[in-house]
Amino acid sequence: MSESTDAPTPAAEASRPERDRPWVMRTYAGHSSAAASNALYRRNLAKGQTGLSVAFDLPTQTGYDPDHVLSRGEVGKVGVPISHIGDMRQLFAEIPLGEMNTSMTINATAMYMLAMYQVAAEEQAETAGEPVEEIVQRLAGTTQNDIIKEYLSRGTYVFPPGPSMRLITDMVNYTVEAIPKWNPTNICSYHLQEAGATPVQEIAYAMSTAIAVLDEVRASGVVPPEEFGKVVARISFFVNAGVRFVEEMCKMRAFVELWDELTRDRYGVTEAKQRRFRYGVQVNSLGLTEAQPENNVQRILIEMLAVTMSKDARARAVQLPAWNEALGLPRPWDQQWSLRMQQVLAYETDLLEYDDLFTGSTVVEAKVAELVAGAKAEIDRIQEMGGAVPAVESGYMKSALVASHALRRQRIEAGEDIIVGVNKYETTEPNPLTADLDTAIQTVDAGVEAAAVEAVRAWREQRDGDPAKQERARAALSRLQEAAGTDENLMEASLECARAEVTVGEWAQALRDVFGEFRAPTGVSGSVGVGDGADASLTAVRERVRATEAELGERLRVLVGKPGLDGHSNGAEQIAVRARDAGFEVVYQGIRLTPDQIVSAAVAEDVHLVGVSILSGSHMELVPDVISGLADQGADDLPVIVGGIIPESDAARLTEMGVAAVFTPKDFGLNDIMSRFVEIIRASRGLPAEVGEAVTAG
């Protein structure tokens, strides 16, 4: 018999190397109201989330109060409405800002959000009897504050590029000393990939934006050259990770290599720690599908691996979308699921126990070298144009993104790029997750907007009812405008506006009056479409367009309009490009139009079809306004179609209102959509369904 012992053998003892600290774990959240969002944040923190990522609604992002005409239908839909310091106080009630790491996805109005955040923190310190200066020095987090990509993708810009860059420069110069742990700008390539950027474009355009910001800060002369490393050390990035795992991981290593070289050679930063590429990530929402949405879970997990497995290029913060974001607004449970994915990877696996897994890989090194070379060539091309700002103003960067997105769509339509559940393996069992679509997503209460409108009006009335407060607010806005006309840093004037209870709309309008507004190039007219390389299905659509034109004796004209504040124009641009390729004359005026402007353009251009694109959830407010506006103009026979993230129940209601067709992300075949355009136009003009059909007399 063998001798027994109570002591475990060496093989029984698991090896447990020391683990790295996990990345900051966030969920991108905010909706309805400051109070509702505050409750959500505190629940998420209690579940183990280690940082906050604030989603603001579109009026807040574009500098409008809830009662502005362009805010209609948008209040509280894609984020939380923050209209003044009172809202900011409520948003972070019982959340100690001196101990929190907060990311704010805000750009055009970033300066005012940071000013209100600082004032809210100061008030917390005063209430707690702590020194105000100490809590401000401890504030940690990020304002996205990358306006270049707003002109290219998200569309929440307000001011022209020059003044916008000045606001960013002022924030960098202010925070480097006043809030030294704050990242004043977060160079954001995430939305470039959403707009169609290839990995080379994503790297090159992000680096070109960083060069533009750093050059502006250096030229301002505020920070001494010997301290410029402090500026570089506070520049962070926000990156996208797609499902092409190896390429995306190599992209991050290429970012690390290029940033180290750029900051050393161009800006003379000698300290390696200050040259470190620091980035947060949200994985790709573009690839989330409405069809078989359960597949989004594995997509999200695979995409997270791309930015966590390589230790030398690991993300500092990660936020994941939810499986149902292609259907609508995720519920708290859906966000919890995404948070748990991060926690399982960080705490249950051994990922954080090892050095970089890919060092020495010839495959990885070759791919990184290819990406670096391609990005450098594109950066040089942009620098020859004068840099990122001229490349935006000329339309070059936007046209390049629309073109690359069009090519991607063509690959999907041709089956060259397989999307499981969309263009292959479409057979599916009934999905219990979406058996009741009305409960599978969160909806914003219809009363949220009315309550916000009433609240902001009451705020202004109460403020202005006190002569001293009214005068302080008036003086603060006057001081802001005066400073905007000089080269004075605008942070101090903005801080006084926050303390004086000025609203976001008032702050932004004061600067609009000085800086003016801007409409970025759409990129559609110069983009690469299918051209002469049409396949059989597009050729068939072209023939139907030509035949219909011959029957009507006029060109077929389509208007593509984006009402409200939704700036995600990628889908609208692809529809416009393909409609042009199909032979339609296309009227596309870009983003941020009122329903009245769309109606006026449709009547003036005498179009045959109006296409409305909305992804922000405001379709039930804005589409009826378009339909009623057309009726008021005697054009109620003009067909209207709608595209966007639209639940089935809403689509049914829109159809009842007279909408001719509703298209959602599952309708990925652009040629099929173009064919429907022809059918709808023919029906509206009393033509037989098929070209060449004889009309039978009744």
Task: Point out the residues that are catalytic.
Answer: 28, 190-191, 562, 566, 568
d(CA 91, CA 89): 6
Q: Which amino acid is at 356?
A: D
Look up residue 500 and give its two tokens: 């004086």
Run of H or E including 619: helix 619-632
d(CA 51, CA 43): 12
State how far Cα 280 lies from the chain centre.
14
Q: Which amino acid is at 636?
A: D
Please, where are the H alpha helices in 386-490?
388-393, 396-413, 437-440, 447-464, 467-484
DSSP one-letter string for 277-297? --EEEEE-STT--SSSTTHHH
d(CA 83, CA 454): 12
Q: Do the beta carbons of residue 205 and residue 249 sit within 8 Å?
A: no
d(CA 28, CA 656): 34
Q: Which amino acid is at 346?
A: A
DSSP symbol at 159: S
In DSSP terms, 560 is beta-bridged to 588, 611
Give the dihedral of Cα atoms 413, 415, 419, 422; nearest 10 deg: 60
DSSP symbol at 653: H
Please, where are the H alpha helices in 195-233?
199-220, 228-233
Each residue of 399-422: b (16+ CB within 10 Å) or e? Answer: bbbbbbbbebbbebbeeeeebebb
First to last CA, the chain: 102
Look up residue 576 and give its two tokens: 């416009």
The three-point CA angle 193-195-199 to 5° equals: 30
Taking only Cα atoms into account, the Rg of the chain, rounded to an integer number of angstroms, comes to: 26
Look up residue 265 and give its two tokens: 């050679």
CB neighbour list of residue 114: distance below 8 Å, 6 or more residues apart: 104, 143, 171, 175, 182, 184, 491
